[in-house]
Structure 1
């Protein structure tokens, strides 16, 4: 189950393990931050924003035929050569990396961004590789939004006074900014929710499932998608799974066959297809062409874009789904507590909510049973008061991300490929592999700015002992934490994808209504899940290098045993949780 795309002889040498007496990795030397890009990336918060050019033409920035010389040093404001490790091995690793991935130098603007908006990472010495859990907020976004709140008086959007009208105006601006960012054609609207989960739940609870209906989804989906099956089952609809491949995702032909089998030409019962755009654990992107195929068969299509939207362009003019769910904190870190359902108004009109709440209705009889839903379609689905204080930050966050999104596929594909291949090379003192890479690896890398990547930037692995047994996830997480590395372990709320890459689908099939997580772990004989490292907007070579130093240390007997003893002491003291 290792990585089949490794090219060990061509890559930079993997970093050496930690010194034997090391308790923490060397802390980076604090650097002075620059705010040179603040005005460029955000401007002022109160202006009307345009999002029509999210992806500039590759020819305007750089591409395969660009005459850029990779032998020239980067501009001083964008240099990443100071890796903070201050040793020749780090510098040599970076130099070798650039020779293997010369396209990485097209993304120097992201190095400048790291210095201006994410300098706190280097000041704190934190290596953050959990962008799939949450992106990090850029400091300029916080400054701009704080200034906006200080200058304005905002009131509840359900009133009509001046402060309320101002809130409503900025809420509408945010709504239009979202539609523009995702190139939504006329006929779409935006329902603001608490997160992507809330958006998915709105569709599940309101979709007109009935006997004869089908709900089709991939096994490699988030639990918030799996949960929709409860609404379908309660209304006697069929729940049909598309099996996922060994490395996650779905086979396009298999998915088309399942969709066709479950939807005969004469069927009239409403059917829903939920497509996961990108897996949060297997790193697989699914073929968005399945959207048009499902639509041609009469399905309504719901796209879970929570994992994809942060690093990839999504054009709803090309892929006109009925509804798409996402969370903004996964895209640009701030604010939390705001997500969206981007949805066709015609589809929204077909949904029927099982309840009403403040803000969703125009008329309610009390006592009695008469009520009239709001005349505005999106208002029918926005329970209570929307997060009006934070919606202006959505507008600015989208503007911020649009400036950097074209560069992310090149940067993240280079770093992801390097991380995967380097991890696969690491060996214990006895020559056994330290890491088994389970998630999907890219087979090609984008070389032009604006080109999209074939996979995400998620690397899911398990760490192995010198004798080949899986090292406990709780040990790896504790050891990483002591080295100031923020990663994640577990199944990531994606049981189907995790079971596929771990080879546990047969064990998953044996679960029954009485099974618990503990029972499952006893059955397989180990903690369930993987170690996940995910890269994002502020990631650079330095982050990946430190992760590799940590992983290399696991392969050094004395260092690993020291880490193990520290973990055991913490467990005995109740300071380290297990799975």
Structure 2
């Protein structure tokens, strides 16, 4: 979820490429600049091909998926008669779009999350219908769909975007958590725009994402500013600005990350070789992990040591080409021998000692976290200026989950190691040893908060 491990072969290929070539800033016509532009265009073509984009789409390179979502939010023509519809189980980068919407007087309408994340289709259709634009030509309304939650493991039905489009909405898809392990085709699901981060897909390079977008939709977005690279002529002093000729150039501020764009082409080629087989592999690993964790009990009381909160797959894949009905993550809580929740900070520390990297907290998805933790009503009681420390004080415990993410390079050994770690937390002597060390090595204030 946070970022894939980078393949050694991809690093070697890119390092070798850089050692044999000189790339220059694309905003020139010298040889090194022409080479950079050529490889940037090859990367755009590779992205369009990877996502099976029909004609009429282009690629705007950004620093990550967050920047791609922000690009739409800041440029979208919200107005007082507009609606922004989005799911509660979404990343903060999606929630942030509401700041642009409300600043222009638009309505913000949330789709509630279910107890295991995602949304209920009938409810979603009612909300979309109730807030639909009266006319797409007179009113601009935006539906932002999270393809896969990064905390609840829920996949939302992509067909709902087509339903929204028929009602007159523009459609924006946050696919950052989906595309590292699932096949996605714009030919099958032709949304107006898709946001992705490449480092989540194949690990390298960081700092490069993309907005894959219809050119027609791009023409309706109005940038609130301009910068080097996005303009052709600027009158100074004065007010005249002529935007760059190519639509994607109008949305790529300054110099694009030209030194790493060749790695995008190589990375997509790398991922393409594994992606058809990945869902089957991850389905097997995920089912084994879930079943094994569900059978971990405390050696003193016999009570469960793990509580799985996220959505679990309903079926196990049997052949190559099938797609999972969920993602490949597990969000859970570690429980003490009497059912009490063990502090996530203690679990993260104990896992780190065994060289296991776990993510804890609300993982930038407060709506999804609230849904699976059952604290949605408490979330409604928050007040302006509240901090996480305040919220946790009110709740009387640390908030968030422990997240286990499986991806491109996850193997049986990784899963086995996590299971053995969970069993060590169910062992009174092993857990107490770690607890004592944690108490001695951690700041007393943090310990007090955690407990």
TM-score by length of 1: 0.76
Match of 1:215 in 2: 84
User: Distance between the aligned counterparts of 2:61 and 2:447, measured in 1?
Assistant: 38
Match of 1:170 in 2: 39
User: Distance between the aligned counterparts of 1:407 and 1:519, measured in 2?
Assistant: 45
User: Distance between the aligned counterparts of 1:193 and 1:343, measured in 2?
Assistant: 12
User: Distance between the aligned counterparts of 1:335 and 1:291, measured in 2?
Assistant: 30
Indicate if the aligned counterparts of 2:192 and 2:217 stay in contact, CA closer than 8 A: yes
User: Distance between the aligned counterparts of 1:299 and 1:262, measured in 2?
Assistant: 10
Question: What residue ranges of structure 2 are gaps of 5+ in the alignment?
Answer: none
User: Distance between the aligned counterparts of 2:25 and 2:182, measured in 1?
Assistant: 34
CA displacement at 1:576 relative to structure 2: 9.2
Match of 2:332 in 1: 461
Establish whether residue 415 from structure 1 lines up as the match of residue 274 from structure 2.
no
Match of 2:255 in 1: 385
Q: How many residues align?
A: 448
Match of 1:548 in 2: 419
Match of 1:528 in 2: 399
User: Distance between the aligned counterparts of 1:490 and 1:575, measured in 2?
Assistant: 14
Of residues 535, 545, 558, the one that matches 2:429 is: 558
Match of 2:216 in 1: 346
Establish whether residue 148 from structure 1 lines up as the match of residue 17 from structure 2.
yes
Match of 1:101 in 2: none
User: Distance between the aligned counterparts of 2:379 and 2:291, measured in 1?
Assistant: 30
Match of 1:292 in 2: 162
Indicate if the aligned counterparts of 1:302 and 1:322 stay in contact, CA closer than 8 A: yes
Establish whether residue 443 from structure 1 lines up as the match of residue 317 from structure 2.
no
CA displacement at 1:458 relative to structure 2: 0.6
User: Distance between the aligned counterparts of 2:21 and 2:446, measured in 1?
Assistant: 45
2:194 aligns to what SS in structure 1?
Answer: strand
Match of 2:267 in 1: 397
Match of 2:131 in 1: 262
User: Distance between the aligned counterparts of 2:260 and 2:447, measured in 1?
Assistant: 35
Indicate if the aligned counterparts of 2:4 and 2:200 stay in contact, CA closer than 8 A: yes
Establish whether residue 424 from structure 1 lines up as the match of residue 303 from structure 2.
no
Indicate if the aligned counterparts of 2:229 and 2:250 stay in contact, CA closer than 8 A: yes
After superposition, what is the alpha-carbon deviation per residue over 1:91-122, rounded to whole angstroms, capped at 9, x for unaligned?
A: xxxxxxxxxxxxxxxxxxxxxxxxxxxxxxxx
Establish whether residue 486 from structure 1 lines up as the match of residue 357 from structure 2.
yes
Q: CA, structure 1 residues 373+577, in 2 after alignment: closer, same or farther (shift >3 Å)? A: farther
Match of 1:305 in 2: 175
Match of 2:68 in 1: 199
CA displacement at 1:514 relative to structure 2: 3.1
Bigger drift between 267-276 and 220-229 goes to: 267-276
1:406 aligns to what SS in structure 2?
Answer: coil
Establish whether residue 518 from structure 1 lines up as the match of residue 389 from structure 2.
yes
TM-score by length of 2: 0.97
User: Distance between the aligned counterparts of 1:493 and 1:444, measured in 2?
Assistant: 28
CA displacement at 1:519 relative to structure 2: 1.4
Match of 1:232 in 2: 101
User: Distance between the aligned counterparts of 1:228 and 1:576, measured in 2?
Assistant: 36
Question: What residue ranges of structure 1 are gaps of 5+ in the alignment?
Answer: 1-131
Match of 1:359 in 2: 229
1:533 aligns to what SS in structure 2?
Answer: strand
Indicate if the aligned counterparts of 2:82 and 2:133 stay in contact, CA closer than 8 A: no
User: Distance between the aligned counterparts of 1:364 and 1:528, measured in 2?
Assistant: 50
Larger of the two Rg values belongs to structure: 1
CA displacement at 1:266 relative to structure 2: 4.9
2:109 aligns to what SS in structure 1?
Answer: strand
1:343 aligns to what SS in structure 2?
Answer: strand
CA displacement at 1:202 relative to structure 2: 0.1
2:35 aligns to what SS in structure 1?
Answer: helix
Indicate if the aligned counterparts of 1:474 and 1:577 stay in contact, CA closer than 8 A: no
CA displacement at 1:572 relative to structure 2: 4.1
After superposition, what is the alpha-carbon deviation per residue over 1:437-485, rounded to whole angstroms, capped at 9, x for unaligned?
A: 0000001022111211110001000011111111001000000000110
CA displacement at 1:577 relative to structure 2: 12
Establish whether residue 158 from structure 1 lines up as the match of residue 27 from structure 2.
yes
RMSD: 1.4
